Amino acid sequence: MANRRRGEIEAVLDGEARVLVLTLGALAELEAAFGAEDLSALATRFSQGRLSARDAARIIGAGLRGAGADISDDEVAAMRAEGGAAGFASIVAELLAVTFGGEP
């Protein structure tokens, strides 16, 4: 079960409930992937609300790996979520909200 106070969320991917969390290592991974100088730059990039499907796969993948899953971004990209693209967008929004604060 996810603990939001620790920055965890639960999402159903491919019909399986999974925990996601953006640990410091996961955030460092995202900084490198997005070319962000620091956490502030990363948060600013995410707050602009313009993310591609590849961006969503990277964020969800980092969250799954942060929670201990051994999964690649390509494997995440092949997964299904309830609600399709909108479902993936909701997962990303919720994960970013619990990590950086604010409403999803």
pLDDT at 103: 58
Model confidence, pTM: 0.92
Answer for the pair 54, 47: CB distance below 8 angstroms, yes or no: no
Q: Look over the chain and give the mean of its residue pLDDT values, rounded to a whole number.
A: 93
Residue 22 amino acid letter = L
State the amino acid at position 84 in one-letter form. G
pLDDT, residue 104, reads 56
Q: Which residues pair with 19 in a beta bridge?
A: 10
Domain boundaries, given as residue ranges, for the chain: 4-100
CA distances from 9 to 3, 19, 32, 38, 90 (A): 7, 6, 23, 23, 11
Residue type for position 57: A
Give the pLDDT confidence score for residue 73 in this predicted structure: 96
